[in-house]
Structure formats: C-alpha cells, structure tokens
Amino acid sequence: MRWPGWCFEWPVDQTEAMPLIQPVPLLPVPELGRVHFIAVGGAGMSGIAALYADLGVAVSGSDQHDSATLRALADAGVTTYVGHDPAQLGAAETVVVSSAVRETNPELAEARRRGLRVWHRSAALAALMLGRVGVAVSGTHGKTTTSAMIATLLTEVGADPGYVVGSPLRDTGRSHRLGSGESFVIEADESDGSFLQYPAQLVVITNIEADHLDNWGTAEAYADGFVRLATAETVTTVVISADDPGAVALTEVVRAAGKRVLTFGASAGADVRLTGIGHGPRGATAMLTGPDESGPLELAVPGRYNLLNAAAAYAVGISLGVSGPLLRAAAARFGGTNRRFQPVAERGGVRIFDDYAHHPTEVAATLTAARELAGSGRVVACFQPHLFSRTRDFATEFGQSLGLADVVVVCGIYPAREDPIPGVTGELVAQAVSDPSRVHYVEQIDQAAAVLAGLVAPGDLVVTIGAGDVTSVGPQLAAALARGPQ
C-alpha cells in the first residue's frame, strides 16, 4: 500500500526479508493447559510467564543461563530450568517461544514432534488482553517509556490497569502487573511483525522511521505494517504523533479508515500540544494544552522525547475518560524505567548514566538530553552497536548522532540473534564520526571501562548506550573511578 508524501531519510535494505510473525487465532489463557516458555528469562517473556502463573496456570520455563529473573519466577510459582532439554516440556500443552528461539532448540523441536500448540510470545501476551480494553503502544522509538508512562498514569489515578512493558519501572522494579481494571497496556513490538497479533482497541504510534529491515526488507514494507496495525478491525482510536513525518503520513490513511484519531506533539495542529518546552530542576517541563484543558507538565525525567511520550500517555488517558489535571499530576510521579537514561553512579565528580538507545534517532535524543544535564561539563558517550544488519544499514547515521558527544568510545557489535556479516564491525561507526580525534574504538566490551576511566574528568557526564551488554560498563567504570589511578 502507498500513500502520497511517503518518504524516509534512511537507506533501504535490498536484501531478502526474513519471515515475519503471522497472527494466530487466540484462546483464553485458562484454555491453554500447562504452558512452557522457552527462553523464559528474557525481558519479553518473563512478565508474561509470571502473569500466567498469577492466573493459576501451571507454568514452566527454561533459559540458557541462570539469572535473578529466573529465580524470581521460581519464587512466583513457575517451574524453572537452566539449559534446554526435551524432557523439560513435561505435560505441557502449549509452548511459547520468542523470535530469538531457533527451530534447532531441542525443546522446540520436541514440541513440533509432539504436535503441541506452539505460540510466539506475542500470542501469549495477546491472550492476556482478551476481555479487556487493550492499549497497544508501538512505533520505532519510545515504546517502552510511553507504555510505562501510560501504565503509571492509569495506576496513579486508581484505574489499576494490567500491563506488560519492555523494562521494569524504576519505582516498583516490575515490568508487569495483572491489575483488576478495565484496561491492559502492552508494548507492541514492530521488529518482527508481531504487533499485528494484539486485539487492541486503542493504538499508540509514537513515530515511524525505517528500522528492522533485516525482517521487513524495505522501508515501505515496514511502514505498511503500521497501516495494518492502525486500521485493524478491533481498533477504535489511534493516538499518533503530529510531529513525526512518518506518523503524519499515516494519519490521513487512518482517518479515511474511520478510526478516531488523537494527535500529540509540538505542532500547532496537535490535539494534545506541547509549548514552552524546557528543563526544570527535576526534569523536562512544558505547557500542555489538551482538547478541554491546559496546564503545566512537569516531569522527573529529562529530555524533549520524554515530554512527547508523556503527551501520548495523556492522550490515552483522556481517551479512556480520565481528567486532564489528574493525568498531568500523575505524570510528575513517573520515575522512569530501567536502561532509559538511568542513573548508575557518581564518582569523583563524574556522573554515569545508562540508556537502551540502539537506533540513530534514539542515540541523538539521548545525547541531546545528556547535553541538557551536563551543563558546562563534557558529554562522553560509550556506544555498543546492536546487530550486524543495523550497523551495516545505519553506520553513517550512528556516526552523525554520536558527533553530538564531546568524547566517543565505540565498542564491537553485540550480535543478538544474528550471525556476523563479512566486513561489518563497530569500526564502521567509529569511522563515521566526523572528528576522529574525539573517537576511540574498543572491540571487546570488557575493555571499555578501563578506556573510559583514562578519558573522563570531573564534571563529565558519561552515557553508556546500546541494547546489548554495554549496560555492564557503567558499574565497572564507577568501580574503576572509586579505586583511583593504579
């Protein structure tokens, strides 16, 4: 499907697309029998497994390595295993897998052999939404924070929503809750097409910018996925950005499909509009004007992007009948989520933060927020590229975004689900930064903290950035600075 004015700034991957997850018919959770989760310790799986256990379902799960998450699931009544063995399926009738689980996994192979029901995690999550008002938050950037903000705002006003989001809330340490209220909020991942599985009545689209071309193949195919999401039969209301070009191009298509549209952003025509954007003593600030009221929006988290996320959450709240002033007050109590500009430590006058950004636009937004907080100090970025394909497609754009920092350390690529691509390394990103004198390349992530310790000075603000294990670098750097020169 095409529509006038569609255009992307990012290059188009001409390689053949990987198969996307196809929606399947859903069953209520109690009808699934015993359920076994493969790779249950992952962020996308653990919350669903825990909620199934909360509903009284017999749940088991396995993961390659032991972890605090696995132990917490065991405490919640989930039978957990370290390692993968076909015998661990037991009497399971339903097996849940993520996109990262390959067909060669012995438990998945056994489930196929037995003819068991095999669901992608998106179907298992979608089943939790049945019978409730589903709120699905999608977009290239900002899904986790926006869905967490919606969950927080609805909780603060007493609506007791259910939710599963991509990262634990800092205030509670939990990324999931069954809730007893009318709504159920989820983060709808577009990377593998699984966002089309969810029976949502209300869809949020934060922005649309080409990504995950290893799965979608082309930018146009990726964008068309959002058309299908926003115009699905179950959807009644779409909350969508008034600022982002990709979202704006989609808006008229959604209206033509008969959906109610509520826009948000800093643009003059936005239904929920932000003006006077700035930074206060606690975090980002703005004046918010909604359809029926206006007033100050004061956050405890930094960055223009968080104000936009909050405006989207406000739009969802008023769509569900909550008053604007209550929502603005609740937004001030949002403490953020893990790995989203998360404070790590301060040592010797050096402040250390950690962020999950893994797309050029996200990296630029993170470093812009860091600049606001750094004052007269330097911004030091430690970036770990995520996926060989994404590095290949966006190395130049990553270099441009990292140029917003004063000092840049680039690490080797975190492969995640991918095999190496010849000639594609983190050095492609390092070479794309315009000023080579500010860039340092470190292939092994376990060497990054030592390199950073030799570069930083009092007053600096350090941000470790990426979707891989770069999150370990901040604590290592804090320990190195505490020890002092060796």
Contact (Cβ atoms closer than 8 angstroms) between residue 241 and residue 263? yes
**Bridging pattern class, strands 94-97 and 117-120:** parallel
CA nearest 142: which of 377, 328, 357? 357
* 77 annotated to bind ligand: no
Contact (Cβ atoms closer than 8 angstroms) between residue 282 and residue 300? yes
* 144 annotated to bind ligand: yes
Radius of gyration in angstroms for the set of CA atoms belonging to the chain, rounded to a whole number: 22
Out of 69, 107, 143, 259, pick the active-site residue: 143
* 140 annotated to bind ligand: yes
* The pair of three-digit structure tokens given for residue 255, joined into one six-digit string: 């209206």
CB atoms within 10 A of CB 393: 23
* 386 annotated to bind ligand: no
Q: Is 362 a catalytic residue?
A: no
* 236 annotated to bind ligand: no
Q: Is 143 a catalytic residue?
A: yes
Q: Is 471 a catalytic residue?
A: no
Question: CA-to-CA distance for 100 and 41, rounded, in angstroms?
Answer: 12
Q: Could you say which DSSP state residue 282 is in?
A: S
| Residue indicated by tokens 């959450």 | 313
DSSP structure string for 34-47: SEEEETTTSHHHHH
Out of 80, 144, 152, 391, pick the active-site residue: 144
CB atoms within 10 A of CB 419: 6
* The pair of three-digit structure tokens given for residue 417, joined into one six-digit string: 């689900």
Out of 107, 110, 187, 190, pick the active-site residue: 187
Would you say the C-alpha torsion 344, 348, 350, 351 has a positive or negative sign? positive
CA nearest 254: which of 266, 267, 244, 263? 263
DSSP structure string for 471-484: GGHHHHHHHHHHH-
CA nearest 10: which of 208, 190, 210? 210
* 142 annotated to bind ligand: yes
5: left (phi over 0), alpha (psi -120 to 50) or beta: left
Three-class SS of residue 431? helix
Question: CA-to-CA distance for 137 and 239, rounded, in angstroms?
Answer: 9
* 259 annotated to bind ligand: no
Q: Which amino acid is at 286?
A: A
Annotated binding site for ATP: 139-145
Q: Which residues are annotated as catalytic?
A: 143-144, 187
Residue ranges for the known binding site are: 139-145
